[in-house]
Amino acid sequence: MDTKRAVFFLRICVLVVTAKILHNINVRPFWFNRTDEQQAELYAIGRTKELDRKPVTNFDGFIRKSKHQFWLAIDLVIVIEGLLIWERIEAYEQLGKLAQKFGLRWGGDWDSDEIIEPTENDIYHFEYKGE
């Protein structure tokens, strides 16, 4: 395992444990690594398939790769009373702020040049930011 992945894994573990201890936030990993083909399938949403939906990613999996393809991103979903919570709630804001303190980028707070539209975000996404 390379150093970036090791640091990322450690930061995610610390995030998950700290969120539980300090904020009583339970999370479950939803999606970690993606193959090129899986990323391309996501890229097709809103472009060549499921045309009733907006595009969900700007990364096609081949020319532009997602950090998921390098094991440097994870999607975490909050769990309350055994149910996965897909709506943006305060607990995601708390988790996102905590992630940023641990040197992670949170998809709920993208810079406007990295998202499809400035009003959209990916509250489940956490990725390696580097140093």
pTM given for the model: 0.89
Q: What is the pLDDT of residue 111?
A: 66
Containing structural domain, residue 105: 3-32+71-128
Is 10 within a domain? yes
Rounded to whole angstroms, how far apart are CA atoms 80 and 3? 33
Is 56 within a domain? no
Provide the CATH number for the domain around residue 22: 3.30.1380.10
Q: What is the pLDDT of residue 112?
A: 44
Of the candidates 20, 9, 59, the residue with the CA atom closest to the CA atom of residue 39: 59
Q: What is the pLDDT of residue 121?
A: 77
Is 103 within a domain? yes
Q: Would you give the DSSP letter of residue 127?
A: E
Q: Where are the beta strands (DSSP E) in 21-72?
A: 26-31
Strand 73-80, strand 26-31: pairing:
antiparallel
Q: What is the pLDDT of residue 10?
A: 97
Q: Which residues of the chain have pLDDT under 70?
A: 1, 111-120, 131
Q: What is the pLDDT of residue 117?
A: 47
Q: What is the pLDDT of residue 109?
A: 87
Is 94 within a domain? yes
Q: Which residue's structure tokens are 């939906």?
A: 53
Are 57 and 110 in contact by the 8 Å Cβ rule? The answer is: no
What is the total count of domains within the chain? 1
pLDDT tens digits, one per residue of 9-19: 999 999 999 99
Q: What is the pLDDT of residue 130?
A: 76
Is 24 within a domain? yes
Rounded to whole angstroms, how far apart are CA atoms 112 and 102? 22
Q: What is the pLDDT of residue 114?
A: 53
Is 45 within a domain? no
Is 81 within a domain? yes
Q: Would you give the DSSP letter of residue 45?
A: B
Q: Would you give the DSSP letter of residue 30?
A: E
Is 15 within a domain? yes
Q: What is the pLDDT of residue 120?
A: 62
